[in-house]
A and B are shown apart, each in its own frame.
Chain A
Amino acid sequence: MQTPENKREPCPDRILDDIGGAFGMGAGGGSAFHFIKGMYNSPSGFRLSGAAQAVRMNAPRVGGSFAVWGGLFSTFDCAMVYARQKEDPWNSILSGAATGGLLALRQGLAASSRAALVGGVLLALIEGAGIVMNKATSGIQQEGILMEDAATMPYGVPMGLPSQVYGQSVPETSSGSEAGSGSWFGSLFGNGKKKESDDNSGSKTQILESFDAPPVPTYEF
């Protein structure tokens, strides 16, 4: 199973993969863009050959720019991971700023700082979007797990708790603790059944309809 942690290559090989990926994206996207542009700018009857010519002239260049940007970004990212010894979004943001700054260095300090700012802001936006999407998808997964175990959990637990609290509260379930009957969540799934089993807890045999654990056997004869 591939979790987000082990989907990417470890750091030195990651640079090569990122260069290749960036070049592919730039060449592919650049081909499409320049194909359409070339087709638009050619005389009719020569549209296809004009488009192909535009692609041949421009796509490698666009791919190369993307590859340089991606390679530098990945190198800085790996260097920061190595220096800080942890992986978090700040690495990406600072690497984006460094890449933008380095690529504009020959135009002077002012242009370089402006490019660094633009690069940092861009990466911050991308990382922010990634975090939001991660929260959304993992929230959906957490809801699914919570729904299945609903009847065994104490009814005071609201939906949408982060996973650490979930992990801690699970061992406390099904030992008969009914925290509070005021929760709307509990009422969705088994309030009626819970009350029934309370009435019957004195009898020796009962039909188990709820998902609670069976009553602990008593050793009286």
Chain B
Amino acid sequence: MAANNRSDHGSDENTRLYNPYQNSQVPINKSQYLYKLPTSPEFLFQEESLRQRRSWGENLTFYTGTAYLGGSVAGASVGILTGVKSFESGDTKKLKINRILNSSGHTGRTWGNRIGVIGLIYAGIESGVVALTDRDDVWTSVVAGLGTGAVFRAARGVRSAAVAGALGGLAAGAVVAGKQVVKRFWSNHFILSPGF
């Protein structure tokens, strides 16, 4: 049939190559990638695949967790550098370790908290927009970014909130567009993991 006459070059756009023997130590000379599996979750009906996405709870925990973890790790690394820089001559080893622990802990916690809150607000607004407008595309992310920036800087005044909102919207749009570009680039040259 015509549908089965697709060419067999490297990897099609929506598929990934799968090696069925990847997890076992089978003495097959060249375990090769035999199957082309789809990269998105598989649904029986196409309409369902268009509508299925993360629930609001999963969205919340995922964005908040990633944001908090990323923020704390970044803050802790910056804190370690600050701590090392603050060494004084004549410091014993115990003092040095103490300095590093203090500064990395402090900076890690503050960055983690702030970026975690940003993640929380973003996830909440995005889930709300998706629930209200029933569509999920770039504009949802942009609006969510806008809202996040505005809420985050709301205490500093209207102008500050507007500027932060604009920056947030731009950042969210850039991230989504960048993700599309990266997906296309990687799928043409490398193999994608299923959750991407």
Contact = CB atoms under 8 A, between A and B. Distances in A.
A24 B63 CA distance: 10
Nearest to A65: B109
B155 A20 contact: no
Interface string A62-73: 011001100100
B68 A20 contact: yes
A60 B155 CA distance: 15
Contacts of A106: 101
Contact of A64 (B60, B62, B63, B68): B68
B112 interface: yes
Interface stretch (A11-19, A173-181, A187-195): A11-19
A17 B62 contact: yes
Interface in A21-53: 21, 23-24, 27, 52-53
A188 B155 CA distance: 68
Nearest to B59: A20
A135 interface: no
Interface band, chain B? 20 to 34
Nearest to B102: A106
Decide if the interface of chain A is mainly helix, strand, loop or mixed.
helix
B114 A20 contact: no
Given A60-B116, A67-B116, A20 B65 contact: yes
A67 B63 CA distance: 13
Contacts of B82: none
B142 interface: no
A60 B65 contact: no
B65 A64 contact: no
A63 B117 contact: yes
A61 B112 CA distance: 10
B63 A20 contact: yes
Interface of A: 15-21, 23-24, 27, 52-53, 56, 59-61, 63-64, 67-68, 71, 106
Interface of B: 58, 60-66, 68-69, 101, 109, 112-114, 116-117, 119-120, 155
